Protein backbone atom coordinates (compact mmCIF):
# COMPACT_ATOMS: atom_id res chain seq x y z
CA UNK A 1 0.00 0.00 0.00
CA UNK A 2 2.34 2.60 -1.24
CA UNK A 3 1.83 5.67 -3.33
CA UNK A 4 4.10 7.62 -5.64
CA UNK A 5 3.06 10.84 -7.39
CA UNK A 6 4.93 13.19 -9.68
CA UNK A 7 4.12 16.12 -11.90
CA UNK A 8 6.35 17.98 -14.31
CA UNK A 9 6.20 21.77 -14.44
CA UNK A 10 7.81 24.31 -16.74
CA UNK A 11 11.30 23.95 -15.26
CA UNK A 12 11.04 21.36 -12.51
CA UNK A 13 9.52 18.03 -11.50
CA UNK A 14 7.62 17.82 -8.20
CA UNK A 15 7.48 14.36 -6.62
CA UNK A 16 5.73 12.89 -3.61
CA UNK A 17 6.03 9.48 -2.00
CA UNK A 18 3.89 8.10 0.82
CA UNK A 19 5.85 7.94 4.05
CA UNK A 20 4.42 4.83 5.66
CA UNK A 21 6.24 1.52 5.50
CA UNK A 22 3.64 -1.22 5.74
CA UNK A 23 3.85 -4.99 6.09
CA UNK A 24 0.53 -6.81 5.96
CA UNK A 25 -1.82 -4.87 8.20
CA UNK A 26 0.95 -3.31 10.27
CA UNK A 27 2.59 0.07 9.85
CA UNK A 28 6.28 -0.46 10.56
CA UNK A 29 7.47 3.10 10.14
CA UNK A 30 5.85 6.50 9.59
CA UNK A 31 8.79 8.28 7.91
CA UNK A 32 9.95 5.96 5.11
CA UNK A 33 11.63 7.70 2.17
CA UNK A 34 10.93 5.77 -1.05
CA UNK A 35 13.34 7.77 -3.15
CA UNK A 36 16.94 7.36 -4.20
CA UNK A 37 19.22 10.08 -5.55
CA UNK A 38 21.01 8.72 -8.64
CA UNK A 39 23.10 11.75 -9.56
CA UNK A 40 22.90 15.50 -9.10
CA UNK A 41 19.81 15.86 -11.31
CA UNK A 42 18.15 12.43 -11.26
CA UNK A 43 15.78 11.19 -8.59
CA UNK A 44 14.19 7.74 -8.56
CA UNK A 45 10.98 6.95 -6.64
CA UNK A 46 10.28 3.28 -6.16
CA UNK A 47 7.61 0.98 -4.75
CA UNK A 48 6.71 -2.70 -4.93
CA UNK A 49 7.91 -5.84 -3.21
CA UNK A 50 9.69 -4.88 0.02
CA UNK A 51 13.36 -5.79 -0.19
CA UNK A 52 13.39 -5.87 -3.98
CA UNK A 53 12.75 -2.14 -3.98
CA UNK A 54 15.69 -0.94 -1.87
CA UNK A 55 18.02 -3.52 -3.37
CA UNK A 56 17.17 -2.53 -6.92
CA UNK A 57 17.32 1.20 -6.15
CA UNK A 58 20.76 0.85 -4.59
CA UNK A 59 21.95 -1.28 -7.52
CA UNK A 60 20.89 1.38 -10.02
CA UNK A 61 22.30 4.20 -7.89
CA UNK A 62 25.65 2.42 -7.59
CA UNK A 63 25.86 1.83 -11.33
CA UNK A 64 24.91 5.40 -12.19
CA UNK A 65 27.54 6.80 -9.84
CA UNK A 66 30.09 4.34 -11.23
CA UNK A 67 29.33 5.74 -14.69
CA UNK A 68 29.80 9.29 -13.38
CA UNK A 69 33.09 8.33 -11.78
CA UNK A 70 34.44 6.47 -14.81
CA UNK A 71 33.53 8.99 -17.46
CA UNK A 72 33.34 12.22 -15.48
CA UNK A 73 29.95 12.69 -17.06
CA UNK A 74 26.39 12.86 -15.71
CA UNK A 75 23.91 10.57 -17.45
CA UNK A 76 20.89 12.41 -18.79
CA UNK A 77 17.45 11.50 -17.41
CA UNK A 78 16.57 9.71 -20.64
CA UNK A 79 19.76 7.64 -20.60
CA UNK A 80 19.17 6.87 -16.92
CA UNK A 81 15.62 5.75 -17.66
CA UNK A 82 16.80 3.57 -20.56
CA UNK A 83 19.49 2.02 -18.40
CA UNK A 84 16.99 1.28 -15.61
CA UNK A 85 14.54 -0.16 -18.12
CA UNK A 86 17.23 -2.41 -19.54
CA UNK A 87 18.06 -3.73 -16.06
CA UNK A 88 14.36 -4.40 -15.38
CA UNK A 89 14.00 -6.12 -18.75
CA UNK A 90 16.97 -8.37 -18.03
CA UNK A 91 15.65 -9.12 -14.57
CA UNK A 92 12.17 -9.89 -15.91
CA UNK A 93 13.63 -12.76 -17.94
CA UNK A 94 15.54 -14.22 -14.99
CA UNK A 95 14.43 -16.86 -12.51
CA UNK A 96 13.21 -14.31 -9.95
CA UNK A 97 12.51 -10.88 -11.40
CA UNK A 98 12.61 -7.67 -9.39
CA UNK A 99 9.08 -6.52 -8.61
CA UNK A 100 9.69 -2.82 -8.58
CA UNK A 101 7.71 0.05 -10.03
CA UNK A 102 9.45 3.33 -10.60
CA UNK A 103 8.98 7.01 -11.29
CA UNK A 104 12.11 8.73 -12.52
CA UNK A 105 12.29 12.50 -12.20
CA UNK A 106 15.17 14.34 -13.78
CA UNK A 107 16.37 17.62 -15.13
CA UNK A 108 18.23 17.61 -18.46
CA UNK A 109 20.91 20.21 -17.78
CA UNK A 110 22.12 20.49 -21.39
CA UNK A 111 18.70 21.28 -22.81
CA UNK A 112 17.42 22.98 -19.65
CA UNK A 113 14.21 21.00 -19.36
CA UNK A 114 12.63 18.68 -16.81
CA UNK A 115 11.77 15.08 -17.65
CA UNK A 116 9.63 12.46 -16.00
CA UNK A 117 9.52 8.73 -16.76
CA UNK A 118 7.12 6.04 -15.62
CA UNK A 119 8.47 2.49 -15.41
CA UNK A 120 6.96 -0.74 -14.14
CA UNK A 121 8.30 -4.20 -13.28
CA UNK A 122 7.44 -5.44 -16.80
CA UNK A 123 10.05 -2.96 -18.05
CA UNK A 124 7.61 -0.54 -19.59
CA UNK A 125 9.16 2.90 -19.87
CA UNK A 126 7.18 5.96 -20.89
CA UNK A 127 7.89 9.66 -20.79
CA UNK A 128 4.92 11.36 -19.13
CA UNK A 129 3.98 14.86 -17.91
CA UNK A 130 2.49 13.50 -14.67
CA UNK A 131 2.32 10.04 -13.15
CA UNK A 132 1.19 7.89 -10.24
CA UNK A 133 2.17 4.44 -8.97
CA UNK A 134 -0.08 2.37 -6.74
CA UNK A 135 -3.78 2.52 -5.96
CA UNK A 136 -3.61 6.29 -5.64
CA UNK A 137 -3.55 6.50 -9.44
CA UNK A 138 -7.28 5.70 -9.42
CA UNK A 139 -7.89 8.96 -7.60
CA UNK A 140 -5.06 11.26 -8.62
CA UNK A 141 -4.73 10.83 -12.39
CA UNK A 142 -8.13 12.46 -12.86
CA UNK A 143 -7.01 15.41 -10.77
CA UNK A 144 -3.84 15.76 -12.85
CA UNK A 145 -5.92 15.42 -16.04
CA UNK A 146 -8.07 18.30 -14.88
CA UNK A 147 -5.42 20.73 -13.58
CA UNK A 148 -2.19 19.96 -15.43
CA UNK A 149 -0.77 22.41 -17.95
CA UNK A 150 2.71 22.39 -19.47
CA UNK A 151 3.78 25.73 -17.99
CA UNK A 152 2.94 24.94 -14.36
CA UNK A 153 4.80 27.01 -11.77
CA UNK A 154 6.02 25.38 -8.60
CA UNK A 155 3.21 27.01 -6.54
CA UNK A 156 0.57 25.69 -8.92
CA UNK A 157 2.11 22.22 -8.85
CA UNK A 158 2.12 22.28 -5.05
CA UNK A 159 -1.55 23.24 -5.12
CA UNK A 160 -2.39 20.29 -7.40
CA UNK A 161 -0.39 17.96 -5.17
CA UNK A 162 -2.37 19.19 -2.15
CA UNK A 163 -5.62 18.46 -4.00
CA UNK A 164 -4.34 14.93 -4.55
CA UNK A 165 -3.45 14.47 -0.88
CA UNK A 166 -6.90 15.73 0.18
CA UNK A 167 -8.62 13.38 -2.25
CA UNK A 168 -6.60 10.41 -1.01
CA UNK A 169 -7.48 11.27 2.58
CA UNK A 170 -11.13 11.59 1.67
CA UNK A 171 -11.57 8.52 -0.53
CA UNK A 172 -8.97 5.92 0.40
CA UNK A 173 -9.35 3.71 3.47
CA UNK A 174 -5.58 3.86 4.05
CA UNK A 175 -3.55 6.28 6.09
CA UNK A 176 -0.32 7.01 4.17
CA UNK A 177 1.13 8.89 7.21
CA UNK A 178 1.74 11.89 5.00
CA UNK A 179 4.02 12.36 1.97
CA UNK A 180 7.66 13.22 1.45
CA UNK A 181 7.87 15.79 -1.34
CA UNK A 182 10.91 16.61 -3.44
CA UNK A 183 11.70 18.97 -6.28
CA UNK A 184 14.16 18.33 -9.12
CA UNK A 185 15.19 21.43 -11.03
CA UNK A 186 18.27 23.19 -12.43
CA UNK A 187 19.77 23.51 -8.94
CA UNK A 188 19.47 19.77 -8.26
CA UNK A 189 17.27 17.88 -5.83
CA UNK A 190 15.72 19.29 -2.66
CA UNK A 191 13.02 18.31 -0.19
CA UNK A 192 10.08 20.63 0.40
CA UNK A 193 7.22 20.66 2.89
CA UNK A 194 3.71 20.65 1.52
Partner 1 sequence: MSRSYDSRTTIFSPEGRLYQVEYALEAINHAGVALGIVAKDGIVLAAEKKVTSKLLEQEESAEKLYHIGDNMLCAVAGLTADANILINYARRVGQQYLQTFNEEMPCEQLVRRVCDLKQGYTQYGGLRPFGVSFLYAGWDHIRGYQLFQSNPSGNYGSWQANSIGGNSTSVQSLMRQEYKDDINLDEASAMAVKFLSKTLDSNSLTHEKIEFATITKDTTKNKMVCKIWKSDEINEVLNKYQETQRQS
Name the minimum Å distance from CB 115 to partner 1: 13
Measure the CA dihedral 116/171/30/51, to 10°.
Answer: -60
Nearest by Cα to 50 from 8, 87, 101: 101
Let me know if 169 is exposed, middle or buried by CB neighbors in 10 A (0-12, 13-18, 19+): exposed
Name the minimum Å distance from CB 83 to partner 1: 6
Q: Which is nearer to partner 1, 83 or 139 (CB)?
A: 83
Name the minimum Å distance from CB 82 to partner 1: 4
The residue ranges that bind partner 1 (CB under 8 A) are 71, 73, 75-76, 78-79, 82-83, 86, 110
Q: Which is nearer to partner 1, 127 or 177 (CB)?
A: 127
Q: Which is nearer to partner 1, 90 or 153 (CB)?
A: 90
Given a contact cutoff of 8 angstroms between Cβ atoms, the answer to whether 131 and 118 are in contact is yes
Name the minimum Å distance from CB 134 to partner 1: 27
Q: Which is nearer to partner 1, 28 or 73 (CB)?
A: 73
Please name the residues in contact with 55: beta carbons below 8 A apart, sequence gap of 6 or more: 98
Amino acid sequence: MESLLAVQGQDFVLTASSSSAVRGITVLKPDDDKSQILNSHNLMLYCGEAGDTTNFAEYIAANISLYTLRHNLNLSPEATASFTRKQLATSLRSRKPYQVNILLAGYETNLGKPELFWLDYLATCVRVPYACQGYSSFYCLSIFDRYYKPDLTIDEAVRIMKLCFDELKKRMPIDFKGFICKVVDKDGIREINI
